[in-house]
Amino acid sequence: MITEIGAFLHKGTGSKLLAELEGDKRILGIYVEAGRTEDLFAFREFGSASENDIVTILAEAKNADAIFKLISEKADLTEPQSGLVYQMPLHKRAS
């Protein structure tokens, strides 16, 4: 089974993660998109909003917890309003 690990991080953090993790054989795919949010981060460059990276990682379920922990550590998510990370299984559609 495949698991999606997603993260909303400060702008630039997603690109750093991509560079660090792109050679990791446990990762099936890693994608980084840009966005804006109004309430996730304390620092806001645009009045009420701040730019963020939206990271999506696909991995086998057996590796997901280790990758989730690695992302949390590398993105320094121990501080308040520094981002968030989640994971959820992806299910195959019935034929």
Contacts of 4 (CB under 8 A, 6+ apart): 56, 57, 58, 87, 88, 89, 90
Dump the DSSP string for 37-76.
ESSS-S--SBTTBEEEEEEEEEEEHHHHHHHHHHHHHHTT
pLDDT of 25 higher than 90: yes
User: 2-59+75-90: what fold?
Assistant: Alpha-Beta Plaits (3.30.70)
List the chain domain ranges: 2-59+75-90
Over residues 16-36, mean pLDDT: 90
For 55-67, what is each residue's pLDDT tens digit? 999 999 999 999 9
